[in-house]
Structure 1
Amino acid sequence: MENVRTTTARPAVWLMFAIILVALNLRPSMAAVGPLLSAIRGDIALSFSLASLLTMLPVMAMGLAMFFGIRISQRLGELRTVLLSLLIIGLATLSRLMIDSAAELIASAVLAGIGIALIQALMPALIKSRFPDNVALCMGLYVTSIMGGAAIAASFAPLMLAHTGSWRIALAVWAALALLAFVSGWTQRKNLSSPAAVATQKESFFNNSRAWLLAIFFGLGTASYTCVLAWLAPYYVEKGWSEQNAGLLLGFLTAMEVISGLVVPAIANRSRDRRGVLMALLGLIIAGFCGLILSPQHLSLLWLCLLGLGIGGLFPMSLIVSLDHLDNPQRAGGLTAFVQGIGYLIAGLSPLMAGIVRDQLGSFEWAWWSLTAVMVIMLLMVWRFDPRHYTRHFD
């Protein structure tokens, strides 16, 4: 009996490994830009306002493409969709070897964002259908791998620049990671469905109030992630820290996010009622923002630890709560695509809005206070996520 279980479990382990490799490709095209920005601006004409588009536009593209991702996966099948997406990401990343203008750099970012969105639209349904008994744990591994990819790219891109002397190579080298994931995905072709095996059911969630609640919840939570990613280092530079030390703070926060993304879904997997975990995570974020505002120079690592643990756990838990609402993997996948589509459109605007607040009021503190208020609103929203009432919101 044990041999049968081992034989059955082995393909699932290799499939999860392939999913992790794919997920590692979903942020380097964006995360590698920030640490190299000064070198890029020294070579091509790129204002800070244009530079902000390198994060904003891919996130917006990810949101818009979410609405088409499920249809494409239904037509092409899971395997072809994943491989096509990795090909798009890889080519967009590799094209940066030949970039000579800001417009070309932004175009490569948008193209990568579309490839990223196709994978993110498909993956929740794939995980729910292949790992029905461990959805929270596997979603945690998947989302943690996304954040891990960002951390790896942000950390190693400056080293690549130092070794090669070329920011173009430091940006383009991440195409190798897409190639590795492409090969791993191809080895899983027996475990991924053909077009005929994918449900062709089309369902719109635009008229469903619960779907909008989930989307807004995901978008507001992701807004805190994108704002911290964009403005934490500049905030500490304004406080007198060096750019290198401010970057190390961001790296520490990202490490906390990865740890939380792994641990929190595993803890939450013990109960279908996720509200206690969600409230604890939001409490951590609120405490972190308050510390960041009131005492940024003292106990700074503590505030960033609280923020990282809260944000890192909230991201996967927001998707897990969406998946919990529907048992059918295809319907649940369609719902999470809608949630991410609307959510990323909300989150894509948040760094720009925080920048406007900074320009108008002269301080990042007001942006942090605004996000703190948003987290309090999300605490009130959490009470609506009673698993006993999920079925009444979807026919």
Structure 2
Amino acid sequence: MKSAWASVLIVIGIVVAAFNLRPGVTGLSPLLDAMGAEIHLSAVFLAIIGMLPPLLYGISGFITPRLYNRFSGLTISLAVMIMITAGLGLRAVVDSPAIFLALSILALLGMGIGNVVVPPIVKSYFPDRVALMSTVHVGLLQLGTFIPPLVAVPLASKFEWRGSLLVWAASAAVGIAVWVVIVVLKPAPRSQVSATVVGGSELLRLVKTRRAWALMTMTGLTSFNNFILFTWLPTLLTRSGFDPAFAGAMLALVTAIPLVLGFVLPLLAQKMSTASPIVIAFCCCLAAGYLGLWLIPEVAPVLWTVLLGIGISTFPLALTLITLRSRSAEASAALSGFVQGGGYLMAATGPLIFAFLIQNFDATWPAYAVVLASIAVKFAVSFSACRPGSI
């Protein structure tokens, strides 16, 4: 297969894969009330469904390098699309909350594996265009995060909540078609992956590397705050006296900012010797946004939301650094698994800790103290995480 056509085909594959790694999560939460009117959703169900994404993304981070040790990245990507399609499609037609959760686990495992497998594919097929392709990857990932919550309710008004969920299953089914073609044609990578290294010595080396731990911590604490804001920002605003419609708009805004910056940060990170100034600036924005939301929410809620959105935009930057700081495709697979595996497990604790502190203390300062402390730690590790040179 000619290299130009192979590159086009892989780009299309990366686009459809990246876009489908989030809609099954962000397209669900606006529909929970409609679901609850038809299917009894207990408090346990709501707690579990909110914790599953980061938890399963974290688990996937540790199992994906081992899968890479046995199968090609192309084959794994096809399996990911099948898992997402099956999980999202079947859960939309069941009536049992338990089965809904089980099918969600299938889809989320697919999404988690997809999170890890895309960076080494970028490294394998575009070793000289890492920043550009990272921009495509991160941008479509953020787009797949931003669009679903905006259209979920309008879709449900036309097709009911089941139809709204099925839209994202259909989107993932397009990914199956694309990746079937890729797997059949098997375009040759420009950088060969030594699969025997991915699940073994490379991962063990990273465990002993301070910079790998720093990048994992920076990524994890970013996602820690992401999931807190995605879960709690509307509630915090309504408790401060704003109406639910405004709070929903602010949630859309806080997700839109990383989407926009996700198209800029990869190229900027490649041109800078170290990305730590970006992380430091974003940490300051995140801290200022939290302080404003805590102390004077009624003064400038849009400003606080914008600052929070800028602050959590270190996530697309972290995904780019995984690819930029890897020595090879196999190193990228191992680093992607290590960073995202540990990072998402760390992130899974965020909404739980914040919810416990908000609901069990009369004052809000313990909850805000935790998020501000997480920013301080991220600030400290960013110097090592962003240092130039391969990890």
TM-score computed with the length of structure 2 as normaliser: 0.90
Structure 1 counterpart of 2:326, which letter? L
Structure 1 counterpart of 2:344, which letter? Y
Does the CA-based 8 Å contact 1:93-1:108 persist in structure 2?
yes
Deviates more, 1:32-41 or 1:276-285: 276-285
Structure 2 counterpart of 1:303, which letter? W
Shift, 1:233, TM fit: 1.0
Does the CA-based 8 Å contact 1:85-1:118 persist in structure 2?
yes
Deviates more, 1:137-146 or 1:335-344: 137-146
Match of 2:195 among 195, 199, 214: 199
Structure 1 residues 110 and 301, CA, compared in 2 at 3 Å: closer, same or farther?
Answer: same
Q: Classify the secondary structure of the residue corresponding to 2:56.
A: helix
Does the CA-based 8 Å contact 2:84-2:172 persist in structure 1?
yes
Distance 2:368 2:135 in 1: 27
Shift, 1:120, TM fit: 1.4
Shift, 1:13, TM fit: 4.4
Distance 2:188 2:52 in 1: 31
Task: State whether structure 2 residue 283 is matched by structure 1 residue 282.
Answer: yes
Does the CA-based 8 Å contact 1:259-1:309 persist in structure 2?
no
Match of 1:326 in 2: 326
Distance 1:355 1:282 in 2: 22
Distance 2:10 2:45 in 1: 39
Match of 1:143 among 133, 138, 145: 138
Structure 1 counterpart of 2:367, which letter? A
Match of 1:170 in 2: 164
Task: State whether structure 2 residue 86 is matched by structure 1 residue 91.
Answer: yes
Distance 2:283 2:188 in 1: 37
Distance 1:57 1:227 in 2: 14
- 1:341-380 to structure 2, matched below 5 A, reads 341-362=341-362, 366-380=366-380
Distance 1:244 1:155 in 2: 12
Does the CA-based 8 Å contact 2:57-2:344 persist in structure 1?
yes
Distance 1:160 1:363 in 2: 39
Match of 2:14 in 1: 19
Match of 1:3 in 2: none
Does the CA-based 8 Å contact 1:219-1:342 persist in structure 2?
yes
Structure 1 residues 365 and 247, CA, compared in 2 at 3 Å: closer, same or farther?
Answer: farther
Distance 1:331 1:179 in 2: 30
Does the CA-based 8 Å contact 2:19-2:140 persist in structure 1?
yes
Task: State whether structure 2 residue 138 is matched by structure 1 residue 130.
Answer: no
Task: State whether structure 2 residue 114 is matched by structure 1 residue 119.
Answer: yes
Distance 2:315 2:331 in 1: 21
Distance 1:268 1:381 in 2: 17
Deviates more, 1:324-333 or 1:360-369: 360-369
Match of 2:182 among 185, 188, 195: 188
Deviates more, 1:66-75 or 1:244-253: 66-75
Structure 1 residues 186 and 375, CA, compared in 2 at 3 Å: closer, same or farther?
Answer: same
Distance 2:316 2:8 in 1: 20
Cα RMSD, aligned residues only:
2.3
Does the CA-based 8 Å contact 1:93-1:175 persist in structure 2?
yes
Distance 1:113 1:302 in 2: 33
Structure 1 residues 296 and 162, CA, compared in 2 at 3 Å: closer, same or farther?
Answer: same
Deviates more, 1:185-194 or 1:23-32: 185-194
Q: Classify the secondary structure of the residue corresponding to 1:98.
A: coil
Distance 1:59 1:193 in 2: 33
Structure 2 counterpart of 1:339, which letter? V
Distance 2:187 2:5 in 1: 15
Match of 1:221 in 2: 222
Distance 1:193 1:225 in 2: 37
Structure 1 residues 101 and 138, CA, compared in 2 at 3 Å: closer, same or farther?
Answer: same
Structure 1 residues 17 and 372, CA, compared in 2 at 3 Å: closer, same or farther?
Answer: farther
Structure 1 residues 34 and 16, CA, compared in 2 at 3 Å: closer, same or farther?
Answer: same
- 1:260-275 to structure 2, matched below 5 A, reads 260-275=261-276
Q: Classify the secondary structure of the residue corresponding to 2:264.
A: helix
Deviates more, 1:45-54 or 1:253-262: 45-54
Task: State whether structure 2 residue 43 is matched by structure 1 residue 58.
Answer: no
Distance 1:9 1:288 in 2: 45
Paired residue total: 382
**C-alpha offsets along residues 321-348 of structure 1, whole Å, 9 cap, x if unaligned?**
3444431221122012111101111101
Structure 2 counterpart of 1:91, which letter? A
Does the CA-based 8 Å contact 1:134-1:269 persist in structure 2?
no
Distance 1:285 1:137 in 2: 27
Match of 1:4 in 2: none
Match of 1:80 among 63, 75, 80: 75
Deviates more, 1:98-107 or 1:185-194: 185-194
Deviates more, 1:291-300 or 1:332-341: 291-300
Structure 1 counterpart of 2:361, which letter? L
Match of 1:248 in 2: 249
Structure 2 counterpart of 1:72, which letter? L
**C-alpha offsets along residues 146-172 of structure 1, whole Å, 9 cap, x if unaligned?**
2211221111111111112x2222222
Shift, 1:41, TM fit: 1.6
Structure 1 residues 269 and 72, CA, compared in 2 at 3 Å: closer, same or farther?
Answer: same
**C-alpha offsets along residues 245-264 of structure 1, whole Å, 9 cap, x if unaligned?**
21111111111120011112
The gaps in structure 2 that reach 5 residues or longer are none
Distance 2:36 2:214 in 1: 40
Shift, 1:354, TM fit: 0.7
Q: Classify the secondary structure of the residue corresponding to 2:312.
A: helix
**C-alpha offsets along residues 259-305 of structure 1, whole Å, 9 cap, x if unaligned?**
01111222222123211222122222122222222222222112211
Distance 1:16 1:9 in 2: 11
Q: Classify the secondary structure of the residue corresponding to 2:128.
A: coil
Q: Classify the secondary structure of the residue corresponding to 1:241.
A: coil
Does the CA-based 8 Å contact 2:132-2:266 persist in structure 1?
yes
Distance 1:103 1:23 in 2: 28
Does the CA-based 8 Å contact 2:217-2:378 persist in structure 1?
no
